[in-house]
Chain A
Amino acid sequence: MPVDLADPFAREAEETARPLRSFLRSYFQSPGGTFGLILLVLIVLSAVFAPLLSFQNPYDLLQLDIMDGQLPPGEVSAAYGFPYLLGTDDQGRDMYSAILYGLRISLGVGIISATTAAVIGATLGLIAAYRGGRVESVIMRLVDFQLSFPTILIALMILAILGKGVANVILALVLVEWATFARTARGVGLVESRKEYIEASRVLGVPAWRIMLRHLLPNCIPPLIVIATVQVARAISLEATLSFLGVGVPITEPSLGLLISNGYQYMFSGMYWMSVFPGLSLLVTIVAINLVGDRLRDVLNPRKDT
C-alpha cells in the first residue's frame, strides 16, 4: 500500500508499524548516502569474497613469480596468463589481489575494534549515567583523561610497549575509541534515566541491569550506531597510519596501510602503482563509510522533527 509521506499521521503510523522499511525509505532519499552505501556494500563484498575475486593468493609464496616483479598495470603474468590489473610489487605479487586481501585486514581490524569499543564504552557510559556519584565521576574522569590525548599518541604508546601485531593494534584502537562511546551513552542515558517510566521501574523493583539493558540501552542505540560507523572509518585510518609507520600490523598480515608503506620507497622511482592503488582503495573505503555515517546521522537524529 503506498503511503503518503506528506501526511504526518500516515507517516507516523508507518514508522511505528514498519520501522525498518520507513528507516530505509528515508535513508535512500539522499543520493550521497545511497551512493556511499552501495560503494560500501561492494567493498565489503569484495573483501569477504577476496579469494574468489583475486587471481592469486598474494601470500602464498609458491604462486608468486619473482620474474614478474615491479610490472606496471596491465602487464600479463608470464606463468599463469592472467593480467596484472594494477601492476605487481617488488616480489611479483599481484597488487589487485593484494589489495583485496589487504581490505580484509583493514576492514576486520576497523570493525572488530569499533564494535568492542562500542560495547565497553556503552556499558561504562550507562553504568555512569544510572549509578551516578563516585562511580560516574571515576568513569568520566577516565573519559576526560583519555580524550585529552591525541588518538595517535595513545596508540603509539601502547604499541611501543606491546610491540606490533594485529591483536595489539585492535587493543590500541579499542583503548583509543571507547571514551567517545562512553560519553554518548552516558549523555543519552542521563536524559532517559530522569524520565518517569524509569523511576516507575525502579519503584517496581526491576533490577538495575535490566533497566539499563531493556530501557536505557535501546535509547542509546541510534546515536551509538552513528558514532560506531564514523569510528570504524577512524579506526581504519588510524590502523593504516600505524602500519604505514611500521608499528602496526606485521608483514605477514598486510593491511592497506602496510601495502602503501611497502610500495612507498618505489614511488620515488616512478613506480607509483604499488602505493597509489592501495592508497586509493583506503581513501574510497573511508569516504564511503563517512558518507553512510553522515546519512545515518541525518536519519537517526531524534531531533530531526523539532
Chain B
Amino acid sequence: MFASILQRIGQAVFVMFCMTIVIFIGMNLIGNPIDLLISPSATPAERTRLIAEFGLDQPIWVQYWRFLVGLVQLDLGTSYIFNEPALRVIMQRFPATMELALAATFLSVLIGVPLGLYAGLRPYSPVSRIIMTGSILGFSLPTFWVGMMLILAFSVQLGWLPSGGRGETVRVLGVQWSFLTLDGLSHMLLPALNLALFKASLILRLTRAGVAEVLPQDYVRLAHAKGLSARRVVFVHVLKNVMIPVVTVVGLEFGSVIAFSVVTETIFAWPGMGKLIIDSINNLDRPIIVAYLMIIVLLFVTINLVVDILYTVLDPRVQFSKARTS
C-alpha cells in the first residue's frame, strides 16, 4: 500500500512539474514579457538595463530555472498593480473566497439533502416532480445568469438584500470574516445561494438516488417490522447510509466550488481570489495570474491526491494500476 501511495505522490509531483512548464511557456513565450514590463518610452540604455535586471537576456532554460527556484521559495514576483508580492496579494483574498465556498457548501447540503430525501420517499408526488424539474434547471442554468436574476429580484426590485461587497467584517485570528455580523451575513446570502445552486442540485439527485436504493433493503424493512417509528427509520437507518456518497461528493466538489466562485465573486463584487484573477487578466497583471494558476493547480492536485490516498487506505481493493472501467 505504501508503495502505491508513494507512486501516487510521485505522480502528483510530476503533474505539478508539468504544469509549471505549461504555465511558464504560456506566460513567457506567447506573450512578450519585455513589452509588458518595460514602458515604451524607456531609453535604449534603460531598456537594456531593465532586460538584464529581469533576467530576460538569459537563455530560456535559465529563465525557467529561476522561475522554478522562485516557486520553491514562494517568490512569484511582484504584482504590477498592487506593487506587493503576488502571493501575498492572493493570500489576502483567500479567506473571503474560503468563507464564501464554505457557506455555499453548507447551503447546498441544507437545500439538497432534505429536498432529495423528500423526493426519494415520495417519488410520485407532484411536489417531487417540481423538485426534480428544479434540479434540472439548477444543473443547466449558467451560474452567472442565476446570480444576475437573484440581484435583479432581491436587490434591485425588492431591495431586501445588498447586491455586492462583503459588508461589515469582524477580525478574528488576524482575518476578516463576514459571517459574524448581521450585515456581513446579509451580504453573503445571495452569493452563497448562487454558488450553492449547482451543488445543491447534485446533492439532491444523489440523495434521492440513495434513498431509492436503500428503501427496499432488508434492514430498512426489518426496522419497520420491529416497530420503529417512521421518523426513526428515515433519519437513522436511511439517512445515515445515504450520507456516505453525499459526504464524498461534497469533499470532492469543494475544489470546483472554489473554481466557480470566480463567476459568483465577479457578479457580486465579492473581494476574493476569483474576482482578483478576472481583474488581473483584464489588467495583464502577469505575476498574479501565474501565482493564482499555480495555487489552484496545487489545490486540485492535492485534493485529488488526498481522495486517492483515502480510498486506498479505506478500501484495499482499490489498486492504482486501475482496472478497466466503463
Contact = CB atoms under 8 A, between A and B. Distances in A.
Nearest to B303: A148
Interface stretch (B2-10, B101-109, B136-144): B136-144
Given A153-B259, A245-B263, A275 B148 contact: yes
B148 A156 contact: no
Contact of B30 (A156, A161, A240, A246): A161
A246 B289 contact: no
B141 A241 contact: no
Secondary structure class of chain B's binding surface, majority of residues? helix
A114 to B, nearest CB: 15
Interface string A233-258: 10001101100111100000000010
A183 B277 CA distance: 31
Contacts of A9: none
A159 interface: yes
Contacts of A270: 156
B286 to A, nearest CB: 9
B278 A267 contact: no
Nearest to A286: B140
B146 to A, nearest CB: 10
A8 interface: no
B106 to A, nearest CB: 20
A246 B283 CA distance: 11
B253 to A, nearest CB: 9
Interface of A: 145, 148-150, 152-153, 156-157, 159-163, 183, 187, 190, 233, 237-238, 240-241, 244-247, 257, 260, 264, 267-268, 270, 272, 275-276, 279, 282-283, 286-287, 290
B189 to A, nearest CB: 18
A241 B281 contact: no
B262 interface: yes
B251 to A, nearest CB: 14
B140 A160 contact: no
A245 B266 contact: yes
Given A150-B256, A156-B277, A275-B148, A233 B140 contact: yes
Contact of B156 (A152, A241, A268, A279): A268
18 contacts: A148-B304, A150-B255, A150-B259, A152-B259, A152-B260, A153-B259, A159-B281, A240-B145, A241-B263, A244-B263, A245-B262, A246-B282, A247-B278, A267-B156, A268-B163, A282-B142, A286-B140, A287-B140
Interface residues of B, number: 38
Interface of B: 15, 23, 26-27, 30-31, 136, 140-145, 148-149, 151-152, 155-156, 163, 255-256, 259-260, 262-263, 266, 277-278, 281-282, 289, 293, 296, 300, 304, 324, 326
Contacts of B282: 246-247
A244 B259 CA distance: 16
A272 B151 CA distance: 11
B26 A161 contact: yes
A190 B324 contact: yes
Given A183-B326, A267-B151, A160 B281 contact: yes
Contacts of B300: 148-149, 153
A185 B30 CA distance: 33
Contacts of B293: 157, 160
Q: Which of A237, A244, A282 has the most CB of B within 10 A?
A: A244
A240 B142 CA distance: 8
